[in-house]
Amino acid sequence: MGFPEVILPGDVRNDLYLTLISGEFNKGSKSTDKNVEVTVKVCNEFGIPIPGVITLGGGALLIDEYHSVIYYHEDKPRWCETFKIAVPIEEFKQAHLKFTFKHRSSNEAKDKSEKPFALSYVKLMQRNGTTLQDIQHELLVYKLDQKKYEETDISYLKLPSTRGELIELNIEKNQH
């Protein structure tokens, strides 16, 4: 990537690259698979999106949220889409990535009113105080009640975010 081997004092290296790989969704009561769009936002501990911290590449403008490609009637989309996140250091510790999943149709009016049917998240700082590891994370996807969904609700932050975290919590629970 052209970075020097040595990081000098004062150098800020706070770049985070995220690759949205894939998802698995069942069609529920529908007769065909959903057209799923993923929206990624960087939010603070209050669930408020941090503006202008996502970019699609070198020289591209900073954006507030990322929207994935939408595959037609695909229950197991494979996006493999990479983008860069640059969170100010003072906000990094409390920040998390919020993934919302929406069904998309060809009806634009219907799409505008569509609310997410599911949500995932991952904190940028782990419970032990270290930064999120550079590995593939298997995020848990929580089904939402679309009628009751509120963008400002942060109750999801109390839930485990990854399969690894869920296993860890179950082990701790069984030891007590």
Tell whether 52 is covered by a domain: yes
Mean pLDDT on 73-101: 92
Number of domains observed in the structure of the chain? 1
Tell whether 108 is covered by a domain: yes
Q: Binning pLDDT at 50, 70 and 90, where does residue 160 land?
A: very high
Q: Is 40 helix (H, G, I), strand (E, B) or coil?
A: strand
Tell whether 84 is covered by a domain: yes
* Domain region containing 17: 13-175
Question: What CATH number did the domain enclosing 51 receive?
Answer: 2.60.40.150
Tell whether 4 is covered by a domain: no
Tell whether 8 is covered by a domain: no
Tell whether 132 is covered by a domain: yes
Tell whether 20 is covered by a domain: yes
Tell whether 136 is covered by a domain: yes
Mean pLDDT on 19-38: 81
* Model confidence pLDDT, tens digit, residues 94-152: 999 999 999 887 777 676 778 899 999 999 998 888 888 889 999 999 999 988 889 88
83/36 Cα distance (integer angstroms): 19
Q: How many CB atoms lie within 10 A of CB 135?
A: 7
95/51 Cα distance (integer angstroms): 12
- Considering only CA atoms, which of 161, 152, 136, 155 is closest in space to residue 43? 152
The pTM (predicted TM-score) of the whole model is 0.87
84/56 Cα distance (integer angstroms): 6
Whether pLDDT at 2 is above 70: no
